[in-house]
């Protein structure tokens, strides 16, 4: 079964053709980083305009690279949440229109579930149950994956997402968006000079909180008169260590609670090489190369499993806060 995947949840416009849920025939991703860089974060209205301009050419390119005309597509899969509402609507309406015009069934999938599926796409033999960790610009979520499609949320962030914290930390030090890759690079030259700590939610020991950590970075940075590159490197290293130690600790607790050592990770932050050291003590599975950041191959792959032989209804809505369960 050839599935066309469509992804427009945030600031990547992407389309992909995937065979039988796992073989990627084409995957085209256009990042909007250049567009949002000047603002230090994603501007929803600008993201939407770019999606409108690029989505159809990118779908055409994905079909062309797969040497597959649209009439040879068996199913269209689209991320209909969670994400920016306007951005989601663009992808969803494109999927509905292509479905209607070409008489191809379509299915809406959850973007977060697709991030976790990206690991199973690389290796379908990963033993379940497992813990899933979605670490991205929009999410910091631990999930108990009982089987594909059967999940229980263990914990989430009560304020900033981890990627967002990286982006804000970078912004505080006058560094460009996205902050993650640059903080990682600077941390290599830095020392753990600052005793930063991520937040702890009293009543929820597994919940995440990064806004206090961000404030600590702000105050520390503001106190330094004429900060040098080394000062910034030290803050980057100390911040990254605090954030990743917290992730490691809470995954450990989740594993104890769910009695598994298997971990599936997804989301942009899992692109970090530094993070791998902190997760090395677990049986950690990463997405296939190129599938950590937002992409449409994971959407098409998951769509194959979600399709039950009948198209979703054209009344399917985009949902900004679509839960995984």
| Footprint on this chain of Zn ion (rule: CB under 5 A) | 136, 294
Our CB check for ligand KG4 shows the closer of 63 and 112 to be 112
Q: What's 205's DSSP letter?
A: T
Instruction: Candidates 5, 40, 138, 303: give the one binding ligand KG4 (CB under 6 A).
Output: 138
Residue with tokens 């976790």: 116
How many whole angstroms from its chain centre is CA 199? 22
> Is position 178 an interface residue for ligand KG4 (rule: CB under 6 A)?
yes
Q: CB of residue 259 vs Zn ion: minimum separation in angstroms?
A: 28
Maximum CA extent, the chain:
64
Q: Coil, strand, or helix at residue 202?
A: coil
Per-residue contact track with ligand KG4, 225 to 254, x per CB under 6 A? ------------------------------
Q: CB of residue 272 vs ligand KG4: minimum separation in angstroms?
A: 3
> Is position 7 an interface residue for ligand KG4 (rule: CB under 6 A)?
no
Our CB check for ligand KG4 shows the closer of 73 and 235 to be 235
Residues 6+ apart with CB under 8 A from 70: 4, 63, 98, 102, 104
For the chain, how many residues are written? 325
Our CB check for ligand KG4 shows the closer of 24 and 42 to be 42
Tokens of 201: 């939610």
Residue 233 binds which entry of ligand KG4, Zn ion, none, with Cβ cut-offs from 5 to 8 Å by kind? none
Residue with tokens 């497992």: 130
Q: CB of residue 163 vs ligand KG4: minimum separation in angstroms?
A: 3
> Is position 113 an interface residue for ligand KG4 (rule: CB under 6 A)?
no
Q: CB of residue 136 vs ligand KG4: minimum separation in angstroms?
A: 3
Angle at 87 between CA 84 and CA 89, to 5 degrees: 105
Residue 181 binds which entry of ligand KG4, Zn ion, none, with Cβ cut-offs from 5 to 8 Å by kind? ligand KG4
Q: CB of residue 291 vs Zn ion: minimum separation in angstroms?
A: 11
In the window 254-273, what residues touch ligand KG4 (CB under 6 A)?
A: 267-269, 271-272
Q: Taking a C-beta distance cutoff of 8 angstroms, is the pair 29, 289 a contact?
A: no
How many whole angstroms from its chain centre is CA 78? 15
Angle at 23 between CA 20 and CA 29, to 5 degrees: 115
Q: CB of residue 139 vs ligand KG4: minimum separation in angstroms?
A: 7
CA distances in angstroms from 18 to 149, 211, 302, 303, listed in the order given: 19, 39, 10, 10
Residues 6+ apart with CB under 8 A from 36: 11, 42, 43, 46, 47, 177
Q: CB of residue 167 vs ligand KG4: minimum separation in angstroms?
A: 5
> Is position 294 an interface residue for ligand KG4 (rule: CB under 6 A)?
yes
Residues found near ligand KG4 in the complex (CB under 6 A): 10, 136-138, 163-164, 166-167, 178-181, 184, 267-269, 271-272, 293-294
């Amino acid at each position: 079964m050839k599935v066309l995947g469509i992804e427009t949840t945030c600031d990547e416009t992407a389309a992909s053709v995937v065979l039988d849920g796992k073989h990627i025939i084409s995957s085209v991703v256009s990042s909007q980083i250049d567009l949002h860089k000047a603002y230090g974060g994603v501007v929803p209205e600008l993201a939407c305009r770019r999606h409108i301009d690029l989505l159809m050419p990118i779908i055409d390119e994905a079909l062309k690279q797969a040497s597959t005309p649209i009439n040879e597509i068996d199913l269209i899969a689209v991320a209909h949440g969670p994400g920016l509402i306007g951005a989601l609507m663009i992808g969803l309406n494109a999927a509905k229109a292509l479905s209607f015009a070409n008489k191809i069934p379509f299915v809406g999938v959850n973007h977060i579930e697709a991030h976790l599926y990206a690991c199973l796409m690389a290796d379908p033999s990963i033993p379940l149950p497992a813990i899933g960790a979605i670490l991205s610009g929009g999410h910091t979520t631990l999930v108990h994956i009982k089987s594909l499609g059967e999940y229980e949320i263990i914990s989430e962030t009560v304020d900033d997402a981890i990627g967002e914290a990286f982006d804000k930390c970078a912004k505080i030090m006058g560094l460009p968006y996205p902050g993650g890759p640059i903080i990682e690079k600077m941390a290599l030259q830095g020392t753990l000079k600052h005793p930063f700590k991520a937040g702890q939610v009293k009543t929820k020991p597994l919940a995440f909180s990064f806004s206090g950590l961000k404030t600590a970075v702000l105050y520390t940075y503001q106190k330094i008169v004429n900060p040098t590159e080394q000062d910034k490197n030290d803050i980057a290293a100390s911040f990254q260590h605090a954030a990743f130690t917290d992730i490691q600790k809470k995954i450990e607790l989740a594993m104890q609670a769910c009695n598994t050592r298997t971990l599936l990770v997804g989301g942009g932050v899992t692109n970090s090489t530094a993070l791998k050291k902190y997760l090395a003590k677990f049986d950690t599975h990463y997405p296939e190369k190129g599938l950590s950041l937002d992409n449409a191959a994971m959407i098409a792959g998951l769509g194959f499993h979600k399709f039950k032989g009948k198209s979703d209804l054209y009344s399917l809505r985009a949902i900004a806060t679509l839960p995984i369960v």
